[in-house]
Amino acid sequence: MRSKSVIKRLTLYSSLITLLITLNSSSINKKNKDYFRNTTKISKNVIEYNSGTIYIGDRNYLRKINHLDVNDVLVLDARGEEDPDFKIYDSYKINDRDIIEEIVESLLLYEEIYPTPWNRSKNSMIREWIIHNTMYSFGYKLDSTTHVDFNNGDEKTYRIRK
Protein backbone atom coordinates (compact mmCIF):
# COMPACT_ATOMS: atom_id res chain seq x y z
CA MET A 1 0.00 0.00 0.00
CA ARG A 2 2.84 2.36 0.83
CA SER A 3 4.51 1.72 -2.56
CA LYS A 4 1.31 2.81 -4.35
CA SER A 5 1.44 6.08 -2.42
CA VAL A 6 5.09 6.60 -3.37
CA ILE A 7 4.36 5.85 -7.03
CA LYS A 8 1.43 8.32 -7.02
CA ARG A 9 3.67 11.03 -5.54
CA LEU A 10 6.43 10.29 -8.04
CA THR A 11 3.93 10.46 -10.88
CA LEU A 12 2.67 13.82 -9.58
CA TYR A 13 6.22 15.17 -9.25
CA SER A 14 7.04 13.92 -12.73
CA SER A 15 3.97 15.68 -14.15
CA LEU A 16 4.86 18.92 -12.39
CA ILE A 17 8.42 18.78 -13.66
CA THR A 18 7.21 18.17 -17.19
CA LEU A 19 4.93 21.19 -16.89
CA LEU A 20 7.77 23.36 -15.60
CA ILE A 21 10.07 22.20 -18.38
CA THR A 22 7.40 23.01 -20.94
CA LEU A 23 6.89 26.49 -19.53
CA ASN A 24 10.61 27.17 -19.28
CA SER A 25 11.94 28.64 -22.50
CA SER A 26 14.99 27.13 -24.12
CA SER A 27 18.31 28.61 -23.00
CA ILE A 28 19.86 27.85 -26.39
CA ASN A 29 17.59 30.00 -28.50
CA LYS A 30 17.83 30.89 -32.17
CA LYS A 31 20.11 33.87 -31.48
CA ASN A 32 22.86 31.96 -29.72
CA LYS A 33 22.38 28.64 -31.57
CA ASP A 34 24.91 29.73 -34.23
CA TYR A 35 27.39 30.62 -31.47
CA PHE A 36 26.82 27.18 -29.93
CA ARG A 37 27.43 25.48 -33.29
CA ASN A 38 30.59 27.52 -33.86
CA THR A 39 32.06 26.84 -30.40
CA THR A 40 31.24 23.12 -30.28
CA LYS A 41 34.06 20.98 -31.67
CA ILE A 42 33.08 17.56 -32.97
CA SER A 43 35.22 14.65 -34.06
CA LYS A 44 34.17 11.02 -34.55
CA ASN A 45 34.38 10.10 -30.85
CA VAL A 46 34.69 13.40 -28.97
CA ILE A 47 32.44 16.43 -28.69
CA GLU A 48 33.92 19.44 -26.90
CA TYR A 49 31.04 21.64 -25.82
CA ASN A 50 31.07 24.83 -23.73
CA SER A 51 30.93 23.07 -20.34
CA GLY A 52 32.91 19.87 -20.88
CA THR A 53 33.61 16.92 -23.12
CA ILE A 54 31.33 14.19 -24.44
CA TYR A 55 33.02 10.89 -25.24
CA ILE A 56 30.86 8.94 -27.65
CA GLY A 57 31.31 5.46 -29.03
CA ASP A 58 30.81 1.76 -28.47
CA ARG A 59 31.45 -0.03 -25.14
CA ASN A 60 35.04 -0.91 -26.07
CA TYR A 61 35.90 2.73 -26.79
CA LEU A 62 34.19 4.00 -23.63
CA ARG A 63 36.08 1.50 -21.42
CA LYS A 64 39.34 3.19 -22.46
CA ILE A 65 38.29 6.57 -21.00
CA ASN A 66 39.87 6.68 -17.55
CA HIS A 67 39.39 10.29 -16.41
CA LEU A 68 36.29 12.46 -16.50
CA ASP A 69 35.93 16.05 -15.31
CA VAL A 70 32.71 17.22 -13.63
CA ASN A 71 30.69 17.96 -16.80
CA ASP A 72 32.22 15.25 -18.99
CA VAL A 73 29.94 12.43 -20.06
CA LEU A 74 30.20 9.00 -21.62
CA VAL A 75 27.66 8.27 -24.34
CA LEU A 76 27.08 4.82 -25.78
CA ASP A 77 26.30 5.18 -29.47
CA ALA A 78 23.79 2.43 -30.26
CA ARG A 79 22.10 4.25 -33.13
CA GLY A 80 22.68 1.25 -35.39
CA GLU A 81 20.49 -1.02 -33.25
CA GLU A 82 16.90 -2.07 -33.97
CA ASP A 83 15.66 0.79 -31.73
CA PRO A 84 18.38 3.43 -32.34
CA ASP A 85 19.72 4.87 -29.11
CA PHE A 86 22.18 7.16 -27.36
CA LYS A 87 22.77 6.16 -23.73
CA ILE A 88 24.18 8.75 -21.33
CA TYR A 89 26.04 6.97 -18.52
CA ASP A 90 25.59 8.36 -14.98
CA SER A 91 23.24 11.06 -16.26
CA TYR A 92 21.97 11.59 -12.70
CA LYS A 93 25.22 13.46 -11.94
CA ILE A 94 24.27 16.35 -14.23
CA ASN A 95 21.32 18.36 -12.95
CA ASP A 96 21.95 21.81 -14.41
CA ARG A 97 19.34 22.35 -17.11
CA ASP A 98 21.67 24.49 -19.24
CA ILE A 99 24.32 21.77 -19.26
CA ILE A 100 21.71 19.11 -20.03
CA GLU A 101 20.52 21.23 -22.92
CA GLU A 102 24.08 21.74 -24.21
CA ILE A 103 24.68 18.00 -24.18
CA VAL A 104 21.38 17.32 -25.97
CA GLU A 105 22.16 20.00 -28.57
CA SER A 106 25.60 18.44 -29.04
CA LEU A 107 24.07 15.01 -29.67
CA LEU A 108 21.65 16.48 -32.21
CA LEU A 109 24.55 18.24 -33.96
CA TYR A 110 26.53 14.97 -33.90
CA GLU A 111 23.56 13.23 -35.54
CA GLU A 112 23.53 15.88 -38.29
CA ILE A 113 27.22 15.23 -39.02
CA TYR A 114 27.05 11.42 -38.67
CA PRO A 115 23.44 10.63 -39.67
CA THR A 116 21.63 7.41 -38.76
CA PRO A 117 17.98 6.36 -38.39
CA TRP A 118 18.04 7.77 -34.83
CA ASN A 119 15.45 10.53 -34.45
CA ARG A 120 14.61 12.31 -31.19
CA SER A 121 13.45 15.84 -30.49
CA LYS A 122 15.42 18.14 -28.21
CA ASN A 123 12.52 18.78 -25.86
CA SER A 124 11.63 15.11 -25.41
CA MET A 125 15.26 14.30 -24.53
CA ILE A 126 15.50 17.14 -22.00
CA ARG A 127 12.23 16.06 -20.39
CA GLU A 128 13.31 12.43 -20.26
CA TRP A 129 16.67 13.33 -18.68
CA ILE A 130 15.10 15.55 -16.01
CA ILE A 131 12.43 12.98 -15.21
CA HIS A 132 15.10 10.27 -14.90
CA ASN A 133 17.09 12.51 -12.54
CA THR A 134 14.01 13.22 -10.43
CA MET A 135 13.17 9.54 -10.12
CA TYR A 136 16.81 8.78 -9.29
CA SER A 137 16.78 11.42 -6.52
CA PHE A 138 13.79 9.63 -4.96
CA GLY A 139 15.69 6.34 -5.10
CA TYR A 140 13.17 4.95 -7.58
CA LYS A 141 14.43 2.07 -9.78
CA LEU A 142 18.07 3.11 -9.51
CA ASP A 143 19.11 0.41 -11.97
CA SER A 144 17.16 2.15 -14.75
CA THR A 145 17.29 5.82 -13.67
CA THR A 146 21.08 6.04 -13.21
CA HIS A 147 21.55 6.36 -16.99
CA VAL A 148 19.23 7.91 -19.56
CA ASP A 149 18.53 6.23 -22.91
CA PHE A 150 17.45 8.37 -25.84
CA ASN A 151 15.98 5.63 -28.00
CA ASN A 152 13.53 6.31 -30.81
CA GLY A 153 10.81 4.26 -29.11
CA ASP A 154 10.57 6.75 -26.22
CA GLU A 155 10.00 9.85 -28.36
CA LYS A 156 6.22 9.58 -27.91
CA THR A 157 6.53 9.00 -24.16
CA TYR A 158 8.32 12.28 -23.46
CA ARG A 159 6.66 14.45 -26.11
CA ILE A 160 4.18 17.11 -25.01
CA ARG A 161 0.85 16.35 -26.61
CA LYS A 162 -1.09 19.30 -27.97
Residue pLDDT, tens place only, 89-135: 999 999 999 999 999 999 999 999 899 999 999 999 999 999 999 99
Secondary element (H or E) of residue 41: strand 41-42
Establish if 3 belongs to a structural domain: no
| pTM as predicted | 0.77
Interstrand relation of 41-42 and 52-57 (parallel, antiparallel or unpaired): unpaired
Helix (H, G, I), strand (E, B) or coil at 53: strand
Range of the domain at 123: 25-154
Establish if 4 belongs to a structural domain: no
Number of domains in the chain: 1
**Cα–Cα nearest to 61, from 91, 36, 99, 89:** 89
Establish if 145 belongs to a structural domain: yes
